[in-house]
Amino acid sequence: MPTVQEIRSKAGEEPITMVTAYDAVTATLAEQASVDIALIGDSMGNAVLGYDDTLPVTVDEVASRTGAVARGTEDTLVVADMPFLSFGTDLQTGIENCGRMIKEEGANAVKIESGEHTVELTDRLTDLGIPVVAHVGLTPQSVNQTGYTRQGSDPEQAKEIARLAREHEEAGAFACILEHIPANLAAQITDDLAIPTIGIGAGSDCDGQVLVINDILGLSDRTPPFAKSFGDVREEMESAIGDYVDAVESGEFPGEEHSHVAEELDELY
Ligand code: KIV
């Protein structure tokens, strides 16, 4: 498993790859593809739990799936994404929820959507030995304030995002996700920070990239403009499930090769 220091030292040297994973099977496949970091994103809300956004996702849901991803990997850094209101209300609750991901579920680090209210938390967690990934720009837990629109397009907002990223680096974050901000702003933040930036919809000058696994696989019914599908798993699944239904309905499945007969049961009645 790469350590957070190893991830840090990749900044400016070697691209960092991060994907979301919500189960052990996907996490194992991500590891086989040499992904550096598996993020148990609260994007699971939209991606797999059937919610309209990430807000209803609970600590228990992230915990259960973090455990699954940790069991499915050996050589991948496992980062649990802290859901809405699992931190930020008071320091103690935030620390306990983050600590649970490390102590009980096998995560190596946590990710926290960053704001003024997470600087002190980042500092305390880092002191306690809980590595933190910061997240600035579009932060989907603030959807009711910002929508899902690109952030940082005006100079004031851009400076604010850059300042927040720097403050979290100073507080001890070992990496910073930059979501849906202009590529030239992301490039300047990447230059400014010593820790790696990991972009999603933030151009190619970040130190690494992250995408939601459903988008990578072509499993999503709606893909954000900055994402790219590298496969068509949705079509594969539709076709496989459809073929199964047809085979059962036509009596073609199960065939003899999928059944067994115990001769001693022939005369049971
Ligand atoms: O929840 C998530 O998957 C994320 C990434 C898109 C960065 O926050």
Q: Which residue has the tokens 């799936």?
A: 65
Rounded Cα distance between 205 and 197, Å, is 9
Rounded Cα distance between 206 and 147, Å, is 24
- Confidence band, pLDDT 50/70/90 cuts, at residue 1: confident
Task: Calculate the average pLDDT of the chain.
Answer: 97
Q: In this prediction, what percent of the chain has a pLDDT beyond 90?
A: 96
- Confidence band, pLDDT 50/70/90 cuts, at residue 267: confident
Query: What is the structure's pLDDT at 58?
Result: 98
Q: Give the pLDDT confidence of 85-144 residue by residue, as tens digits.
A: 999 999 999 999 999 999 999 999 999 999 999 999 999 999 999 999 999 999 999 999
pTM of the full predicted structure? 0.97
Q: Which residue has the tokens 């030292």?
A: 9
Query: What is the structure's pLDDT at 2?
Result: 87
- Confidence band, pLDDT 50/70/90 cuts, at residue 268: confident
Query: Residue 257 C-alpha to ligand 1 middle, in angstroms?
Result: 44
Following DSSP, what letter does each residue of 14-39 receive, concatenated? S-EEEEE--SHHHHHHHHHTT-SEEE
Q: At 132, which helix (H) or strand (E)?
A: strand 132-137
Counting ligand 1 atoms within 8 A of each CB, the residue from 84, 210, 215, 216 with the most, and so the one to mutate, is: 210
Q: Give the pLDDT confidence of 158-167 residue by residue, as tens digits.
A: 999 999 999 9
Query: What is the structure's pLDDT at 163?
Result: 98
Q: Give the pLDDT confidence of 179-201 residue by residue, as tens digits.
A: 999 999 999 999 999 999 999 99
Rounded Cα distance between 211 and 179, Å, is 10
221 pLDDT above the threshold of 90: no
Mean pLDDT score, 9-24: 96
Return the exposure string of 43-56: e unless at least 16 CB atoms fall within 10 Å of the residue's CB, then b: bbbbbbbeeebbbe
Do 174 and 7 meet the contact criterion of CB atoms below 8 Å apart? yes
Rounded Cα distance between 104 and 66, Å, is 10
179 is catalytic: yes
What domains can be seen in the chain, in order of their start residue? 4-232 (3.20.20.60)
Counting ligand 1 atoms within 8 A of each CB, the residue from 19, 20, 206 with the most, and so the one to mutate, is: 20
First and final CA of the chain: distance in angstroms? 59
Mean pLDDT score, 249-259: 97
